[in-house]
Amino acid sequence: MKLFLNDFTTTEKKLVFSDDAPWVTEILNSLDETTPLAKNEKKRLLQIKFTYRRVGDFFHLSGEYDTEIHLLCSRCAIFFNMPCQKRFSFLFTKNQTVDSNNCDLDVEASNLEDMIILTEDFIDLQAILNEQLQLQLPLQPLCQKDCKGLCPHCGTDLNHGRCACNKITANNPFGVLKDIKPQKNAK
């Protein structure tokens, strides 16, 4: 989805997207660690809003999204939905010598991500949304903060209770340590 610079005016404009937009569905499906939803499954929550306007030599684009990504827990190997919500803001310019401090833009500094120098006459909304969602994905997704994972011996999900296998086996190199008993203070 391209937003052309000649569409920017001094009046703020808004764009709202849902999962009906093919480019949005493509991004979410590429980030999901599961197969796309079957036709009879519930659609995911999705709200994406962009606002944009021109201020002098600058093109201000801000956005927010509220959705979920389908991930695989790195400890217990179950699929779960991770909520993703974020607000972001960018300044774009075609002028390579312009200073963002000279801009009369009332952008909250905590939301301003970056100033980007454009080489094209458009801003790629798909690339921006994809980047913002990828930045929220954890390296090791967890279904819950205190996920106990799987038993390394029998594969039982320890979140649902203890397993019945023997934790220390004969093949374990530390198995000989189970018979060591603490000695009482010898004088």
Which segment of 42-46, 68-72, 117-121 scores lowest on mean pLDDT? 42-46
Q: pLDDT tens-digit profile of 60-115?
A: 889 998 888 888 898 888 888 888 888 988 888 887 665 555 555 554 444 445 77
At residue 29, φ and ψ (nearest 5 deg) are -65, -35
Q: For position 108, what pLDDT does the model report?
A: 47
Domains of the chain, residue spans: 2-136
At residue 53, φ and ψ (nearest 5 deg) are -165, 165
Do the Cβ atoms of 79 and 72 come closer than 8 Å?
yes
At residue 130, φ and ψ (nearest 5 deg) are -60, -45
Q: pLDDT tens-digit profile of 142-176?
A: 989 998 888 887 878 888 888 777 555 556 677 67
pTM for this entry = 0.70
Nearest-5° Cα angle at 130, 126 to 133: 140
Q: Report which of 44, 41, 62 is spatially closest to residue 107, judged by C-alpha positions.
A: 62
